[in-house]
Amino acid sequence: MPTPPTRRTVLGAMAAAASAPSMLALSSPASARTAAAALPGGGDLGPNVVVFDPSTPNIQGRLDEIFRQQESAQFGSGRYQLLFKPGTYNNINAQLGFYTSISGLGLSPDDTTFNGDVTVDAGWFNGNATQNFWRSAENLALNPVSGTNRWAVAQAAPFRRMHVKGGLNLAPNGYGWASGGYIADSRVDGTVGPYSQQQWYTRDSSVGGWTNAVWNMTFSGVEGAPAQSFPNPPYTTLTTTPVSREKPFLYLDGADYKVFLPELRTNARGTTWGSGTPRGTSLPLTQFYVAKPGVSAATLNEALTQGLNLLFTPGIYHLDQTVRVERANAVVLGLGYATLVPDNGVTAMRVADVDGVRLAGFLIDAGTVNSATLLEIGPQGTTTDHSANPTTVQDVFIRIGGAGPGKATTSMVVNNRHTIIDHTWVWRADHGDGVGWETNRADYGVVVNGADVLATGLFVEHFNKYDVQWNGERGRTIFFQNEKAYDAPNQAAIQNGATRGYAAYKVADTVTTHEGWGLGSYCYYNVDPTIRQAHGFAAPAVPGVKFHGLLVVSLSGNGQYDHVINAIGAATSGTTTVPSTVVSFP
């Protein structure tokens, strides 16, 4: 087994560089509009959604062509969604590059079978998988050619609703560095081998086995998961997931596209699809405004006002005003890493204090003018109970800098009660273009003000102050991965009053009830390696605030932590990249 590696940018920073108007629309609050003027629902999915069926000629050639374009285009403008109609596909190796999503169009993963692989490797980066971001696989069954499928990814690369009829290798060829990742609603018949993966979260799935752990492997609701044993080996295992609702997905019902909306589950365990037809409801594509790059924010808002949902096809969307999601049960779904860029300092998207909104599958990229916020879930001060039908935020990723200068004071604010954040990567860029302590300034990553919020798979990195600030009562987080900002120029730049540095995860002093499982924070202060961070985590020491499986790591001795949480836990030291752990708090 390889020596536990350091994180991605230790090397990375050096190496990188038209159908009829829908009836729903006609009966909406915009009924003053005439039928002829109403925005249409449905329509074609645009040029960057590539649809295959088993009889399509030269499937492999088309896949290879897209991969060549996207393999190393980390901050490029290309966006692709690859859709496969139900059936069997032979001799397929779908290699995925940046901003590429691959999905089956069946209601079950087993409806669309590859006798072959969906592969992510790291040849483009000399065997280092730590920058294999922004790609996804969903709703397919795989019979891997070698018996094992390779999925060597980092952040923002979900593996959802997949059936691997064999093993799954999460490391690159050669077992180089890797720093992912996330699996949900999937079944791996064989063994999952993470090997050099430093941390991983698996939710509501089934695995035939799991081979090892480096720093932090967390499981909830996973059949076949290893037993709780943190910190040696560092497995944090929950029998069930308290509340979950799987991501909406596009599928074919005969010749008609629909979006399936899985139902809410409590105390979930295992997949949603293993025992027949999944439980949930469907919406026809005619109830979606199919957005394409160049559409105005005003048109998007008009579509929502008419009663349509939004489907963003792959591409980059500039917004000169906020997209306002104000209707209960509205769905906003992105394909192929559709990217929203707020211009002139606006907030990209706001959700109202309503039930059941589903946001999924898109990227928000901060604009050059500072936005106070990029994504807001609910208005400040709301106390409405949404427990029966919460808002879900799934595979919604946020980036500040990297593709060019960007700024935002706070990236994501969650005010609505009972919101579920299910897999996000909120990232202030540490490499790429427009990167610097003030160039892509972003003080706060995720701020949670609402009560009863649950995060399953929370990845938040490199913010100038608190990466996560949790002010709401009864919050819960299952798996947290963090790096403090690499580029702090000196100790004074991160000083927090009398405290050395801002915690990665701060629970407000007024909170009386909070719980977290499997949380890690890492530092790599490469500009000033003498910086000391007082702790990775800060929380009130009261009986109702509990943590399980905490760790901090100094990467190669570039900066150090004095403690793990508050004044508890040993300091990190030296250059050996060995975690300091706390099994439970208090």
pLDDT, one tens digit per residue, over 172-193 is 999 999 998 999 999 999 999 9
Half-sphere exposure of 75 (CA within 13 A, CB side): 17
Per-residue pLDDT tens digits for 422-457: 999 999 999 999 999 999 999 999 999 999 999 999
The residue count for the chain? 586
Checking if the pLDDT of 15 tops 70, the result is: no
Per-residue pLDDT tens digits for 325-377: 999 999 999 999 999 999 999 999 999 999 999 999 999 999 999 999 999 99
Q: Give the model's pLDDT for residue 276.
A: 76
The torsion angle over the Cα atoms of residues 447, 451, 453 and 459, rounded to 10 degrees, is 20
Q: Give the model's pLDDT for residue 33.
A: 41
Per-residue pLDDT tens digits for 136-166: 999 999 999 999 999 999 999 999 999 999 9
Cα–Cα distances (Å) from 554 to 6, 152, 557, 575, in that order, read 9, 23, 5, 8
Q: Give the model's pLDDT for residue 278.
A: 87
Burial class (CB in 10 A: 0-12, 13-18, 19+), 274: middle
Compute the distance between CA of residue 63 and CA of residue 54 in angstroms, rounded to an integer: 14
* Global model pTM greater than 0.75: yes
- List of residues 6+ apart from 528 with CB closer than 8 A: 488, 489, 490, 491, 559
Q: Give the model's pLDDT for residue 19.
A: 31
Q: Give the model's pLDDT for residue 275.
A: 81
Q: How confident is the model at residue 4 (pLDDT cuts 50, 70, 90)?
A: very low
Q: How many CB atoms lie within 10 A of CB 573?
A: 12
The mean predicted confidence, pLDDT, of the chain is 94
Query: What is the set of active-site residues?
Result: 483
Per-residue pLDDT tens digits for 535-585: 999 999 999 999 999 999 999 999 999 999 999 999 999 999 999 999 999
Cβ contact 103:251 at 8 Å:
no
Q: Give the model's pLDDT for residue 350.
A: 98
Per-residue pLDDT tens digits for 68-125: 999 999 999 999 999 999 999 999 999 999 999 999 999 999 999 999 999 999 999 9
- List of residues 6+ apart from 463 with CB closer than 8 A: 411, 428, 442, 443, 444, 445, 485, 502
Q: Give the model's pLDDT for residue 277.
A: 78
Checking if the pLDDT of 21 tops 90, the result is: no
Q: Give the model's pLDDT for residue 180.
A: 84
Cβ contact 118:149 at 8 Å:
yes
Average pLDDT over residues 384-399: 98
Percent pLDDT > 70 in the chain is 94
Least confident span in 10-14, 21-25, 222-226, 465-469: 21-25
